């Protein structure tokens, strides 16, 4: 399974009609990557292109659709890439193989269905609550500021955040903002609960994004109710 952190991105360019052992080369490459346990690979077909022979190939004219380029791309650990590269090198007799250093920010897979849930279990602890106040019309690089902050918090793997839209309020300038069909600057509050270390790092990022607003921190006691997982029943009857 691909993990978060340093990795290699491999891109292979071949012609669509290039053959390999009585089949298409790009199909053979994908089958090989699947067999070797590569986390995932994608093949895309170009609509136009030219190569070393400087002949343009395009889907617009049927006779020129021959030799359209196929791009195969996958991301894997350096160890896995080193393992499979000799075979890929031998398979691609006409084409290009490119390897780049990259960094996996997130690698997530849907979990399998969880076992039956048991009764609630109560978990208690201390944490920090951060509230961020801003106007609905505030922007960051062309998008609503509250959406940009939420994306940044997710990227930093903050446990969770909720955006609240006010219906009435005023700020330091004394202007009243009221919920009406034409209102575009109602108050927005983002509420976040996480550890002190996580929120300190988040504030460093958020402060540079805000031009006008307030960030409030407070200590909180966290009470979390979760389902305990029941142990699977034994398939053998007791004798």
The CATH number of whichever domain residue 168 belongs to comes to 3.30.70.120
| 100 and 122 fall within a common domain | no
Element (H, E) at 10: strand 5-15
pLDDT for 123 equals 61
| More confident of the two residues 114 and 70 | 70
Question: Which of residues 104, 134, 154 is at a domain's end?
Answer: 104
Structural domain tally of the chain?
2
Is the pLDDT confidence value at 191 over 50? Answer: yes
| More confident of the two residues 84 and 230 | 84
60 band by pLDDT with thresholds 50, 70 and 90: very low
pLDDT for 238 equals 46
Lowest average pLDDT, out of 16-20, 66-70, 168-172, 197-201, goes to: 168-172
In a domain, 239, yes or no: no
Is the pLDDT confidence value at 49 over 60? Answer: no
| Mean pLDDT, rounded, for 77-91 | 94
Instruction: Provide the phi-psi class of 28: left if phi over 0, else alpha when psi is between -120 and 50, else beta.
Output: alpha
Q: What is the pLDDT of residues 143-167, one digit of tens each?
A: 899 999 998 998 888 888 999 988 7
Q: Where are the alpha helices (DSSP H) in 65-172?
A: 78-91, 145-155
Diameter over CA atoms, the chain: 79
In a domain, 42, yes or no: yes
d(CA 42, CA 135): 42
Is the pLDDT confidence value at 54 over 60? Answer: no
Instruction: With H, G, I as helix, E, B as strand and everything else as coil, classify residue 199.
Output: helix
pLDDT for 217 equals 93
| Mean pLDDT, rounded, for 122-145 | 87
| 91 and 168 fall within a common domain | no
| Mean pLDDT, rounded, for 54-60 | 51
d(CA 130, CA 125): 16
Is the pLDDT confidence value at 63 over 50? Answer: no
Beta pairing, strands 95-104 & 5-15 = antiparallel
Is the separation of the CB atoms in 158 and 202 below 8 Å?
A: yes
Q: What share of the chain is helix, strand, coil (3-state, %, to 5)?
A: 20, 40, 35
User: How many Cβ atoms from other residues are within 10 Å of residue 87's Cβ?
Assistant: 13
| More confident of the two residues 123 and 89 | 89
First to last CA, the chain: 42
In a domain, 49, yes or no: yes
| 122 and 98 fall within a common domain | no
Side by side, the strands of the sheet bearing 187-194 are 161-165, 187-194, 117-135, 214-229
Token pair 């996580």 in the structure block, residue: 198
| 85 and 138 fall within a common domain | no
In a domain, 44, yes or no: yes
In a domain, 111, yes or no: no
pLDDT for 223 equals 79
| Mean pLDDT, rounded, for 57-68 | 52
CA 192 from centre of chain = 20
The mean of the pLDDT values for the chain is 79
Q: What is the pLDDT of residues 213-239, one digit of tens each?
A: 899 999 988 877 565 555 444 444 444
| 96 and 122 fall within a common domain | no
| More confident of the two residues 54 and 69 | 69
Whole-model pTM: value is: 0.54
Is the pLDDT confidence value at 179 over 60? Answer: no
Backbone angles phi, psi at 110, to 5 degrees: -65, 135
């Amino acid at each position: 399974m691909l993990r978060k952190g340093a990795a290699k991105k491999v891109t292979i360019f071949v012609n669509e009609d290039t053959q390999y052992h009585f089949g298409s080369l790009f199909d053979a490459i994908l089958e090989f990557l699947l067999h070797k346990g590569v986390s995932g690979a994608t093949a895309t077909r170009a609509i136009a292109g030219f190569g070393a022979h400087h002949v343009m190939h395009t889907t617009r004219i049927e006779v020129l659709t021959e030799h359209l380029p196929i791009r195969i791309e996958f991301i894997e650990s350096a160890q896995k890439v080193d393992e499979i590269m000799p075979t890929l090198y031998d398979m691609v007799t006409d084409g290009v193989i490119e390897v780049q250093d990259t960094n996996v920010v997130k690698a997530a897979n849907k979990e399998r269905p969880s076992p039956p849930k048991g009764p609630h279990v109560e978990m208690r602890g201390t944490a920090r609550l951060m509230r961020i106040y801003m106007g609905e019309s505030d922007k960051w690089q062309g998008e609503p500021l509250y959406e940009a902050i939420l994306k940044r918090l997710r990227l930093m793997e903050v446990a969770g955040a909720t955006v609240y839209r006010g219906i009435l309020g005023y700020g330091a300038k004394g202007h009243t903002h009221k919920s009406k069909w034409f209102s575009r600057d109602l108050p927005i509050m983002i509420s976040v609960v996480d550890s002190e270390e996580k929120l300190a790092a988040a504030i460093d990022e958020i402060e540079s994004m805000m031009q006008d607003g307030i960030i409030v921190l407070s200590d909180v006691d966290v009470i979390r109710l979760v389902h305990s997982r029941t142990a699977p029943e034994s398939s053998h009857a007791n004798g």
